[in-house]
Structure 1
Amino acid sequence: MLRGFATISLWADDLEAAKDWYAELLGVRPYFSVPGPDGRAGYYEFRAGDYEHELGLIDARFRPGGPDGGGPAGAIMYWHVDDLDAAVERLLAMGAREHEKITERGEGTGFVTASVVDPFGNVLGVMSNPHYLEVLAEAAPR
Structure 2
Amino acid sequence: MAIQGPIPISFHQVFPHGCFVVGEVEQVKDFDASSKGRTVYAKDKNTGELVWQVAVMDADPTVKAGQKTVSVKILSAVQPVVPAALPGLPFVPVEFDGMTATAYVAQNTGRLAWSIRATSMHAPRSAAASARQSASASVKETAGKDVAA
Largest Rg, 1 or 2: 2
What TM-score does the superposition give when structure 1 sets the normalisation length? 0.31
In proportion to residue count, which structure has more helix?
1
